[in-house]
Amino acid sequence: MSSVLTELWPYFLMVLVGYLPNEVWRAFGLILARGLNEDSEIVVWSRAVATAILAGVIAKLVLFPTGALAAIPLLLRVIASVIGFVVFLAVRRSVSAGVLAAEAALLIGAFLFVP
């Protein structure tokens, strides 16, 4: 019994603190779909908050990684991110080009400098 509970616990958490707090905004959108447009002030503010929180997630994943990525030096992770972003801007804001360049920079750097 207790092992079943231990196995199901991550799924329970997924629904409780993942699915529900995420889905609630879709439900609000469906209910309140009339009468709000994309340029209304509350929508502009909420998009800025969501963008900032996502940026926080990005920075944490690059600067304070866990596991295998932590074995690659901080400086290399930052330089690879910057190279990827510059390529993204240079290649007409292509996400694929930017991600590929960042990955290439990370791997080349790691092969050259990580013992």
Partner 1 sequence: MLVLAGTYIGIGALTHDFGLTSWWLAISTILVWAAPAQVILITTVTTGAALFEIALAVTLSAIRLFPMVVALMPVLRGPTTRLRDLLLPTHFTAVSMWVESLRLLPNIEQQWRIPYCNGLSAGYMATATAFGFVGFYLAAGLPPLLAGALLFLTPMSFLMSTARNARMMVDKLGLVLGLLIGPLLTMLDVDLDLMWTGLVGGTLAYLVHRIREAAT
Give the nearest distance from C-beta 1 to partner 1 in angstroms: 20
Give the nearest distance from C-beta 71 to partner 1 in angstroms: 6
Residue type, position 43, single letter: V
Give the nearest distance from C-beta 24 to partner 1 in angstroms: 7
What does the alpha-carbon distance between residue 69 and residue 61 come to, in Å, rounded to a whole number? 9
Pick the closer one to partner 1 by CB: 2 or 10: 10
CB-hemisphere CA count at 13 Å for 27?
6
Give the nearest distance from C-beta 22 to partner 1 in angstroms: 4
Pick the closer one to partner 1 by CB: 1 or 42: 42
Pick the closer one to partner 1 by CB: 28 or 75: 28
Pick the closer one to partner 1 by CB: 47 or 75: 47
Residue 65: partners with Cβ closer than 8 Å, 6 or more residues away: 77
Handedness of CA 73, 77, 78, 80 (dihedral sign): positive
Please say whether the beta carbons of 98 and 85 come within 8 A: yes
